[in-house]
Structure 1
Amino acid sequence: MGTYISKADTSVALLYLSVTAFFGGTVFYKARKKKMEKANTFVCGLLLLSLEILCFAMLRSYAGLLLFSGACLISYICLPVRSMLPVDNKAVLITGSDSGIGHALAKHLDNLGFVVFAGVLNKEGPGAEALKRSCSQRLSVLQLDITNPTQIREAYLAVHPLSWLQCGLWGIVNNAGVLGFLADGELLPMSIYRQCMDVNFFGAVEVSKTFLPLLRKSQGRLVNMSSMAGGVPMPRLAAYSASKAALSMFSGVMRQELSKWGIKVAVVHPSGFRTCRYLTFQLQEKHLMENLMPDVKTDYGEDYILALKNFLLHMPSFCGSDLSPLLDDVLDALLAKSPHGLYTPGKNAYLALCIFCYFPLWFYDFFIGKSLCVKILPRALRTKVQPSPGPDDILPRAGRLV
């Protein structure tokens, strides 16, 4: 005789699933906010899953459901939060502190009690002066062009004599970076590819190699600021994405190699945040136009290239203005006893990575195309009936033949 499942059993089973989904979603959200240790969360989840099966199998009633719900509640309350190290005047070097993320991060860590060495491209510039005015005496501004080996060495000599600090140099945050002009990879001149690699990759590598002897002594942290575009392919960011992907891979290898020295390495893949980068690199348009091959210029058309400039100008409207998720992640990477190897702060950064990793590529291409494609097509792909593009033809929707 087959096993008979009553309607009551079905109702109880659905309630079990509802409790499990609610509890799992709540714990996942809390873990994503870095308030729980992932290892403890995983072990707790396995134990509760076993208890759920046991309760349903032996107590197919609301009594078992109440027992399981109570166990979930107690587990949620008792799960240990993430352990953080004290600040204790820990010293951190931040590159690219003139403006944007680096500037905000230098102020944030100074307010928390860190000893901050803020590397800037121009020590006499407005960004450096703002840091001097608004921050404490613990913050020092260093002239640091990360593409200049001499300035990197001088910064090392300025940071090295830290005998007055208990732990020496605790952290390096490689934040300095350039975006370049947003355009199809075929349109970008080689100078932009080289500039992105020099700043975003080679500069970060040289800073890391120079200061790592100090991190070995403190068993500190190396934090590299990559990008969502360094983990997933995105249109019109070929030079930037390639350089950030190189930095992400470098970070992964260094995480493995430096673990034996007690150094923790983390890479941050933020989504778009509203910084001055999106406004300062539009001047490269003229350089791009002057370096195009005649046939490439003809096939794409000047109106298509000018529309890319408008796309760049509209980028800030699609970016978040609240930097706190990013600042919180960097702080976690610096102070958590068990920091994550990868952080994805910002809107859709984690979602895009999941879609790229776990879905077919055609689906990811469709997803990112709907998000970032411009309306206008290159001249050679347009039909004669398509009207000339206007200044507003840069909305984020898929292009199509008309």
Structure 2
Amino acid sequence: MGTFFSAPGWLCLTVTAVLGGTIFCKLKKSQGQVGRKVVCLAGLWGGACLVSLSLFWGLILFSLSCFLVYTYFSGQELLPADQKAVLITGGDSGIGHALSKYLDELGFTVFAGVLDEKGSGSEELRRTCSKRLSVLQLDITDPQQIKDAHSKVKEKLQNRGLWAVVNNAGILGLPTDGELIPMTEYKRCMAVNFFGAVEVTKAFLPLLRKSKGRLVNISSMAGGVPMEKMAAYSSSKAALTMFSAVMRQELSKWGVKVSVIQPGGFRTNITGTSDMWDKLEKNILDHLTPDVQEDYGQDYILRERNFLMFMQTYSVMDVSPVLLDVQHAISAKSPFAFYAPGKMSYLWLCFVSFSPTGIFDYFSKKMHSHRKSMPRVLSMPNWKNEAT
């Protein structure tokens, strides 16, 4: 106790208090969710130091952790939006639509790529946003439309580079067992969620290199956390996540910073409409072989749309955490390599990365135990005896 009340002890305590107060002030101004997680981790680390060591040395280590967090926050100041141009794909609806409006309000020059430039989403952007925003016809699976969009962006920017590209456009399809998903759906998910994003990136990278700007790819928590019924969607998002990681390394020498956003469950139009579900169900049934259809049963397949309703029920309406993280990714002096906005998404990604596979599978099975729908053969009382 005498050591703590000595001059070095009081000095250490004072430094801790000053740094802690400064960090708290910076935390109140921080954007998105990741800053709060870093501070929580620093707090846990400091607490562990105080418990495991003597009070004096614990405070020294805690002061050091506060200093490191302070240094970390000093690189999180946001650059001004003036004269910075951003291309966003998938601006018709959902996150892309909300992001286009949000960045326009912040003062960015926004190019909103849309699937239908005459659709209601496009018209709303023209009506509600400033003249800085331009709506571009951009089906990311159409190479010619990508070239045309590139020409229009380059013409408007003239000698300026493009500050950021946000690859947001994506599709979900009808979630069901991987064996039941037709190959056409696997290819469609890859075409939009992965190959489209890659082609847009390749087309606009010269403009990003010129500005030493940002590449932001909207992936999904499903790209890192195995989820039943999501074989096609998750595979395409996992490919996008890995593409982002490789490009982050390769583009660093050009001064281009790359971030990947892995949101949790947010309610958007990606789940589609009832008419779309009908078409997808018909597509699945038309492509099944007789033996697979016999084993699963048509009733099981038709009940799979209940999973979409489950997703909508438990997803979050407010997409502002995603918008804040994208803003941080394109505006911070030192953006993060990845972001995980949404309830529990960061914890789930960490859980998958560090826990044994058997433990994750056990918890995943428990989470899906409420879904009592089973394939026809598995619901038969004597199916185990028949299998043996």
1:289 partner amino acid = L
In the TM superposition, residue 76 of structure 1 has moved relative to its aligned partner by 11
Q: How far did residue 54 of structure 1 move?
A: 5.8
Instruction: For residue 35 of structure 1, report the CA deviation from its aligned partner.
Output: 4.2
Report deviation, 1:292: 0.8
The residue number in structure 2 matching 1:296 is 292
**How far 1:238 moved relative to its partner?**
0.4
The aligned counterpart of 1:318 is 314
Correspondent of 1:378 among 344, 366, 375 = 375
CA-atom RMSD, angstroms? 3.6
Q: 1:120-148: per-residue Cα shift (whole Å, max 9, x none)?
A: 00000111011111111010000000000
Which of these residues, 176, 192, 212, is aligned with residue 199 of structure 1? Answer: 192
For 2:229, what is the secondary structure of its paired residue? coil
Greater shift in the superposed pair: 212-221 or 299-308? 299-308
Decide whether aligned partners of structure 1 residues 366 and 98 sit closer, same or farther in structure 2, where only a CA change above 3 A counts: same
Counterparts of 1:1-400 in structure 2, within 5 Å, are: 33-35=33-35, 49=49, 53=53, 55-56=55-56, 80-81=73-74, 82-163=76-157, 167-280=160-273, 281-283=276-278, 284-372=280-368, 374-384=371-381
**How many Å separate the matches in 2 of 1:245 and 1:385?**
38
Give unmatched runs, 5+ long, in structure 2: 1-12, 384-388
Q: Do 1:278 and 1:313's aligned partners in 2 also have CA atoms closer than 8 Å? A: no
Q: How big is the shift at 1:313? A: 2.4
CA-CA distance at 1:372 after TM superposition: 3.8
Kindly state the Cα deviation for residue 364 of structure 1 after the two structures are TM-superposed.
0.9
The aligned amino acid for 2:328 is D
Alpha-carbon distance change, 372 to 278 in structure 1, aligned in 2, over 3 angstroms: farther
Q: Please, what TM-score do these two structures have when normalized by structure 2? A: 0.82
C-alpha distance in 1 between matches for 2:209 and 2:42: 31
Which stretch has the larger CA shift, 75-84 or 205-214?
Answer: 75-84
Highest RCO, 1 vs 2 (Cα 8 Å, sep ≥ 6): 2
- Cα offsets for 1:243-299 (capped at 9, x unmatched): 111111100000000000000000111011101122334231111111111110110
Letter paired with 2:330: L
Q: Note if contact 2:173-2:271 (Cα within 8 Å) is conserved in structure 1.
A: no
Q: TM-score, normalised by structure 1?
A: 0.79
> In 2 relative to 1, CA 91–299 (structure 1 residues): closer, same or farther, beyond 3 Å?
same
Deviation by residue 1:332-379 (Cα, 9 ceiling, x = unmatched): 100111111110011121111111111111111122223345211111
2:42–2:66 CA contact under 8 A, matched in 1: no
The alignment of Structure 1 onto Structure 2 pairs a total of residues equal to 354
Which deviates more, 302-311 or 216-225?
302-311
* Larger Cα-atom Rg: 1
* Consecutive unaligned residues in structure 1, runs of 5 or more: 1-15, 58-64, 387-402
Task: Compute the displacement of 1:383 (Å).
Answer: 2.8
What is the identity, as a one-letter code, of the residue corresponding to 2:33? K
1:175, 1:78 → 2: CA distance?
A: 32
Closer/same/farther in 2, CA of residues 363 and 45 from structure 1, 3 Å limit: closer
Change (3 A) 1:102 1:72: same
AA of the residue aligned to 1:238: A
**3-state secondary structure, aligned to 2:377:** helix
- The secondary structure found in structure 2 opposite 1:169 is coil
CA contact (8 A) 1:44 1:75 kept: no
| Structure 1, 310-319 or 90-99: larger mean CA deviation | 310-319
